[in-house]
Amino acid sequence: MSFPNESSAYRTARNALLDAEIALRRQTEAVAAMRRALPPGGEVPEDFVFERIGANFRPEQVRMSELFGDFPTILIYSYMFGPERDVPCPGCTHLLDCIEGAARHVPQRAPLYVVARSPVARLAAWAHARGWNHLELLSTAGNDYSAHYYGNTAALTPAMRAQRGYGEDENWDEPMLNVFHKDGDTIRHFWGSELVFAPEDAGQHHRGLDFADAVWGLLDTTPEGRGDTFFPKVTYGQAAS
């Protein structure tokens, strides 16, 4: 194919890029196949109790086993919005802005939840203010889910802490997507976005969920790219944060 007035040099370079894009798509599909073929993961250590806003708009408790409904698989994203934060992490927030649209569709095959350590009423108020009508937010306040599944740095091993220069008592929220599979009464961990915690790769950012992030994907199509200084904010303008 060709576009109006393009040069032969452009078309040659674009065709080479197209070959690379096709190879990348094949690699993406191959990685997805490897993920689907993973053997059973570890059984969850307990039936974690979360808190959510119930049908009567009052907080209610819900067990992890109840989150599946009639589905065998659930997705849980750990949101960096603990009670010590005045505003949530802008990186997590812009990602969830992207996922909000997908949250109309993903639960048709697998329920999707967002968890954070703040009280559930605070999470519900934030979701309402943000215009999130399809993301379901749960509170992990009072349970150990985050410590087991890398929703905070408490789960890091001493070696991982040393590699990153973290102090023994330095703990904060971390972004993490985890997938769980239920077979009968047994719930097992299936996959987690471990790329976030992988050893540093020269010239690479530690982001682990670019496949779900429309912001970076769209910017990657522009001549300017993602840039070296831009990072999404919770708000823009004078009140930007």
Three-state secondary structure readout of 43-99:
ECCCCCEEEEECCCCCEEEEEHHHHHCCCCEEEEEECCCCCCCCCCCHHHHHHHHHH
pLDDT at 92: 96
The pLDDT score that the predictor gives to residue 97 is 97
Q: pLDDT 10s digit of each residue in the chain, 241 long?
A: 999 999 999 999 999 999 999 999 999 999 999 999 999 999 999 999 999 998 778 899 999 999 999 999 999 999 999 999 999 999 999 999 999 999 999 999 999 999 999 999 999 999 999 999 999 999 999 899 999 999 988 888 888 888 877 877 778 899 999 999 999 999 999 999 998 888 777 766 667 898 999 999 999 999 999 888 899 999 998 655 5
Lookup: tokens for 9: 């040099």
What angle do the packed helices 120-130 and 90-102 form, to 10 degrees? 70
Phi, psi of 30 (to 5 degrees): -70, -40
Give CA separation, 228 vs 67, 217, 224, in Å. 40, 15, 10
**pLDDT at position 117, please?**
94
> Domain-by-domain residue ranges, the chain?
1-37, 49-197
Q: What is the pLDDT of residue 199?
A: 77
How many CB atoms sit inside 10 A of residue 205's CB? 10
Query: Between vectors from CA 42 to CA 181 and to CA 46, what angle results, nearest 5°?
Result: 80
Report the distance separating Cα 112 and Cα 100, nearest Å.
10
Residues with Cβ within 8 Å of 26's Cβ and at least 6 positions away in sequence, in order, are: none
Angle, CA of 43, 45 and 48, to the nearest 5° = 110
Which two structure tokens, joined as six digits, stand for 131? Answer: 């215009």
What pLDDT is recorded for position 239? 55
Confirm whether pTM is higher than 0.85. Answer: yes
Pick from 212, 176, 182: nearest CA to 197:
176
- Rounded to the nearest 10°, the torsion over CA 96, 132, 137, 126 is 100
Q: Radius of gyration of the chain from Cα atoms?
A: 20
CA distance 69 to 48: 15
Q: Which ranges of the chain does DSSP label H, i.e. alpha helix?
A: 8-36, 90-102, 120-130, 145-148, 158-164, 214-219
pLDDT score recorded for residue 94: 96
Structure confidence at residue 55 (pLDDT)? 79
User: For residue 238, what pLDDT is reported?
Assistant: 60
Specify the CATH number of the domain 49-197.
Answer: 3.40.30.10
